[in-house]
Amino acid sequence: MRSKILFVFGLALGYVLGTRAGRERYEQIRAGAEKVWQDPRVQRQVHTVEEFVKDKAPDVTEKATQAAKTVASKVREARAPKPDAS
């Protein structure tokens, strides 16, 4: 879904930047995007995503911290001098 949104955004941006209609067309597109953004259905989804992120952020933070500690530990082990097996 994210890739579709980015694709549409890129298309719109490319059109605006490539068009000769200039500022007037840009304002039309901006007004249309603002209308879509203000739509109650879109805002409900935005709210849903915000709540999801607020709910999951602590879990993601904990997992990222743990992963960073694991990587740091492995790097330390890899850099530690190896005892001679003589």
Distance between CA atoms of residues 19 and 13, nearest Å: 10
- Walk along the chain (86 residues) and give the pLDDT tens digit of each residue: 778 888 888 888 877 777 666 778 778 888 999 999 999 999 999 999 999 999 988 888 888 999 999 999 988 888 877 766 55
Domain residue limits at 35: 2-66
Looking at the structure of the chain, the number of domains it has is: 1
Residue 81 lies in a domain: no
pTM reported for the whole predicted model: 0.47
Calculate the alpha carbon distances from 56 to 28, 53, 60 in Å.
37, 5, 6
Give a yes or no: residue 36 inside a domain.
Answer: yes
Tokens matching residue 53:
């992120």
